[in-house]
Amino acid sequence: MRMMDKKITFGVIVGTRGFFNPKLAQEGRIQLEGQLKALGYDHVILPADATEHGAVETYAHAKKCAELFRRRADDIDGVIVVLPNFGDELGVVQTLDLAKLNVPVLVQACNDRLDAVGVSGRRDAFCGKISVCNNLYQYDIPFTDTTEHTCDIDGETFAADLDYFARVCRVVRGLRTARIGAIGARPAAFQTVRFSEKLLQDSGITVIPVDLSDIFARARALDDEAASVKQKLAEIGAYGTIPNDIPKDHIVRQARLSVVIDEWLDENECDASAVQCWTSVQNNYGCATCLSMSLMGEKGRPSACEVDVAGAVSMYALLLASGQIPGFLDWNNNYGDERDKCVCTHCSNFPRSFMGRDIEISALDLLGETLGKDNCFGAIKGHVAPGEMTYFRISTDDTMATIKGYVGEGRFTNDPFDMDGGIAVCEVERLRELLAHICQNGFEHHVAMTRTHCAAVLDEAVSKYLGWDLYRHV
């Protein structure tokens, strides 16, 4: 099952401590299960009668809960610890230590009410949370905090925290199991996009390569009258505006290529891809790959240009974090004298949702001048609609033997820019500082972007749980 289609499942630990009212733990458990159900999440929790109060307090409880978590390890994307009262720090940390799930952990503590701080009503979770977190620190178990130190389980603040945490879990699980198709060799002129398969594999990311000749052979062998080709032609016809002067056989050629790439990705269970989009495909097959890549991206399977595998991982991470279709761009042009604005562009392979408006599908312009327009049908053209934006980029640094990256937020503007291809005029605060960081730290000219703000999610997932070296631009 692809990660974007998977329903997020949380392991749940309800904490309690003996000399506090255990009824608070029982009520907290009920509230949490109701909240998770209302928000559409699955969960794994000990049966209510498995311990005295349906909570985890002793080492015996911890062993029971850990054993359940281990049995359901393939399902659990993250663990939620709730403290309806002070909670038992050892019960919590021993459960996590024994279970060894290696998933994100969220720690919540309940509010006390000013009118309920007597013996039967007081929670002291404000204090208990500090003790639990102290033990997690000692055991080197990373965890995510809630927005407020204490909050109500059934409140809106915690509901928002659960949404944030679910997206962190989706990024972590998704990247640790990601499969990226590398279709063709990188263009010889682009040493920029070299990467380390070994460093990616160390984080669980598998790269599956294929030679373009295999793809071309399969595409040429496909009958124009095949149902899959006809279906793809209908999809292309509904996807954007194609100028009347584009020959029908150019569109059919592109459709055959799209069908074959889709099939190969399915066969290899790839979550994303990176494609050699020039010059072999134009010279040896006779079309661009941009439309094929755009169509894949629109269906939640991002595709990066020029066999930029680390770029494809960046796109996939943005998709997991935001749920929004990402695009793949160059940091490309200054915007006059406005130093916090720049132009990001590609030929392009931007998905329609990323564009945010109608698109034209025609021939590559710049490459078409040298490779021939007849060999270059399949470019997505238009101006990206204004709105919020998050940018993200990772790179495998062989010299430092690490994966590094940067992330930040800005916006797409509606400023005009008279250039061909896919155009995005971007505004980023303190852009000069970001560009200096990119240049000084050897990052590629490519960047992934998506149409929402989600930098905090990526920062939490990548820095805390994957251990990558991330710069967050503010």
Q: Is 399 exposed, middle or buried (0-12, 13-18, 19+ CB in 10 A)?
A: exposed
- In the block, which residue shows the tokens 């269906």? 299
Instruction: Supply the pLDDT for residue 54.
Output: 94
pLDDT tens, residue order, the chain (474 aa): 688 889 999 999 999 998 888 999 999 999 999 999 999 999 999 999 999 899 999 999 999 999 999 999 999 999 999 999 999 999 999 999 999 999 999 999 999 998 878 878 798 999 999 999 999 999 999 999 999 999 999 999 999 999 999 999 999 999 999 999 999 999 999 999 999 999 999 999 999 999 999 999 999 999 999 999 999 999 999 999 999 999 999 999 999 999 999 999 999 999 999 999 999 999 999 999 999 999 999 999 999 999 999 999 999 999 999 999 999 999 999 999 999 999 999 999 999 999 999 999 999 998 888 999 999 999 999 999 999 999 999 999 999 999 999 999 999 999 999 999 999 999 999 999 999 999 999 999 999 999 999 999 999 999 999 999 999 998
Residue 351: CB partners within 8 Å, gap ≥ 6? 294, 295, 297, 298, 325, 326, 327, 380
CB atoms within 10 A of CB 266: 10
**Cα gap 181→98, rounded to integer Å:** 36
**Cα gap 270→242, rounded to integer Å:** 29
**Cα gap 124→128, rounded to integer Å:** 6
Counting other chains too, the contacts that 331-335 makes at CB distance below 8 Å and 24 or more residues apart are: 331/435, 331/438, 331/445, 331/447, 332/445, 333/417, 333/419, 335/415, 335/417, 335/425
Alpha-carbon radius of gyration of the chain: 25
Helix H or strand E segment including 175:
helix 156-176
**Cα gap 85→205, rounded to integer Å:** 40
Instruction: Supply the pLDDT for residue 368.
Output: 86
**Cα gap 274→308, rounded to integer Å:** 6
Half-sphere exposure (Cβ direction) of 225: Cα atoms closer than 13 Å: 0
- Secondary structure in 3-state letters for 18-73: CCCCHHHHHHHHHHHHHHHHHHCCEEECCCCCCCCCCCECCHHHHHHHHHHHHHCC
Residue 433: CB partners within 8 Å, gap ≥ 6? 473
Instruction: Supply the pLDDT for residue 116.
Output: 73
Instruction: Supply the pLDDT for residue 120.
Output: 82
Give the dihedral of Cα atoms 72, 34, 1, 106; nearest 10 deg.
-70
Pairing of strands 341-346, 422-427: antiparallel
The alpha carbon of residue 356 and the mean position of all alpha carbons in its chain are separated, in whole angstroms, by: 19
Q: 449 φ, ψ to 5°?
A: -140, 155
Domains, the chain, in order of start with CATH, read 3-176 (3.40.50.10940), 179-472 (3.40.275.10)
- Are 28 and 56 in contact by the 8 Å Cβ rule? The answer is no
**Cα gap 371→388, rounded to integer Å:** 36
Instruction: Supply the pLDDT for residue 118.
Output: 80
Instruction: Supply the pLDDT for residue 1.
Output: 65
- Are 376 and 251 in contact by the 8 Å Cβ rule? The answer is no
List residues bridging with 437 in a β-sheet.
Answer: none
In degrees, to the nearest 5, what angle opens at C-alpha 122 toward C-alphas 117 and 126? 110
**Cα gap 172→8, rounded to integer Å:** 12
Q: Is 191 exposed, middle or buried (0-12, 13-18, 19+ CB in 10 A)?
A: exposed
